[in-house]
Amino acid sequence: MNLLDDLQWRGLLQDSTDLTELRKLLDGGPTTFYVGFDPTGASLHIGHLVQVLTARRLQLAGHRPLLLVGGATGMIGDPRDVGERVLHSTDVVAGWVANIRGQLSPFMSYDGDNAATLVNNLDWTGEVSAIDFLREVGKHFPVSRMLAREVVKARLESGISFTEFSYQLLQANDFFQLHDRYGCQLQFGGSDQWGNITAGVDFVRRKGAGPVQAFTTPLVTKADGSKFGKSEGQAIWLDPKLTSPYEFYQFWLNTDDRDVARYLRYFSFRSQEELGELETAGAERPGAREAQRALAGELTTLVHGEAETVQVIAASQALFGRGSLSDLGSATLRAALSEAGLVQINGAVPPAATLLKESGLVTSMNEARRAIAEGGAYVNNVRITDPESVVAAEELLHGKFLVVRRGKKTIAGVEVVA
């Protein structure tokens, strides 16, 4: 199956310019394409992954990626449905550009005939005067067409600044500049960018260049209809300092059964046959969550590396008594316990019954003693038989952590602070 057919099968092709011409472009040898990321925050999040991994698919098929991190467009921000974006300083945006460029790098190859290139639109926008920009770019944009964009129409009543209104001119100029400088013939992005993308296709034509092509990928939604992304709250970031690899893995492991087949098509690099087998397994044995485990493992490895994936899977098992807690690194253990619920205890470790209560696994000392008497209380996966027993200092994991468990599935973390 060729690239375009695979993108269609995976549900990754939502909008496109002339589909016949797009097919010719992708089948006709190496094509230079670009996809852009605005630094409106310090990190990419999982809402960006479709674009990142689609770029990877195109490069694996032999095409040349231009990965644009918008030092210029990031100073403004694409208009949102509600409210103006906060404008950040030049230094802040420059720092975010550097962070995001670093996050993109591991996904692509920078060697060979189709080596990826990182580009920044501040390089061709930063020194252009307002007069020159209006003459060379703005002259080609009918205001009626700009007003017809859905997000602009939605903001007209509540208000939209000229700054955000003019964003599409900047993005359209990016396509022309990349076409002129690098021979770029294709742009893609999320479906919410279709208006900006087609403005760029038209601008390239109006400048007497091209023809160029474009397509969009769908916005990823959950079964409840909500979108991925930081605007929805509870963002899952690619930066491990913002979202730990353990939390990242758990997010995908907890994918709704209604979503997992679709997510595997969007994000996985497995073959159609392998994905079909996972879909069948999910339908026949949903409790095993085989598809979710495959999705979580593959994406955590892509984003954080194989070593981190091994650690988080080990942590997932060890917390519930199916592996050795001592094999877990401090950062992974802290992340896992934070996800479960981590409480701090100052000073000496209390007796087992008190430890159960202070960890939040029981509500009273009587309940704690009953859980211990029934054989359902564990500390560091060791069953507690005496409510007055105290964990020795040398049994603290990494000198400060305890894993407290009630029954098979209810756990909490304790951090002992001297």
230 part of a folded domain? no
Q: Give one word for 28, left, alpha or beta, with left for phi > 0 and alpha for psi -120 to 50.
A: alpha
Residue 160 sits in a domain whose CATH number is 3.40.50.620
Q: In what order do the strands lie in the sheet with 410-417?
A: 342-346, 410-417, 401-406, 377-379, 382-383
Q: What mean pLDDT do residues 331-335 have? A: 92
208 and 352 inside one domain: no
Neighbours of 196 (CB within 10 A): 25
Sign of CA dihedral 255, 334, 106, 176: positive
Average pLDDT value for the chain: 91
DSSP per-residue string spanning 326-360? GGS-HHHHHHHHHHH-EEEEESSPPPHHHHHHHHT
267 part of a folded domain? no
Instruction: Tell me what pLDDT residue 231 has.
Output: 47
Residue 25 one-letter amino acid = L
8 A C-beta contact, residue 162 and residue 133? no
- How many domains in the chain? 2
Q: Per-residue pLDDT tens for 192-247?
A: 899 999 999 999 999 999 799 999 999 998 888 777 755 455 689 999 999 999 99
Domain that holds residue 400: 341-418
Coil, strand, or helix at residue 235? coil
Instruction: Tell me what pLDDT residue 78 has.
Output: 77
55 and 202 inside one domain: yes
Instruction: Tell me what pLDDT residue 319 has.
Output: 86
Instruction: Tell me what pLDDT residue 24 has.
Output: 94
Q: Which residue has the higher pLDDT, 287 or 35?
A: 35
Residue 355 sits in a domain whose CATH number is 3.10.290.10
46 part of a folded domain? yes
Last residue within a domain, chosen from 219, 235, 269 = 219
Distances (CA, A) of 74 to 68, 105, 344, 363: 11, 19, 40, 50
Residue 64's beta-bridge partner residues?
Answer: 32
86 part of a folded domain? yes
Last residue within a domain, chosen from 219, 243, 263 = 219
233 part of a folded domain? no
Last residue within a domain, chosen from 152, 185, 219 = 219
Q: What is the pTM of this model?
A: 0.89
45 part of a folded domain? yes
Q: What mean pLDDT do residues 153-179 have? A: 88
Q: Which residue has the higher pLDDT, 80 or 345?
A: 345
Q: Per-residue pLDDT tens for 112-162?
A: 999 999 999 999 999 899 999 999 999 998 888 887 877 777 777 778 888
Per the listing, tokens 């209560």 go with 357
Cα–Cα nearest to 46, from 234, 294, 290: 234
308 part of a folded domain? no
405 part of a folded domain? yes
The yes-or-no verdict on residue 339 having pLDDT over 90 is no
Report for 84-88, 309-313, 391-395: range of highest mean pLDDT = 309-313
Instruction: Tell me what pLDDT residue 230 has.
Output: 53
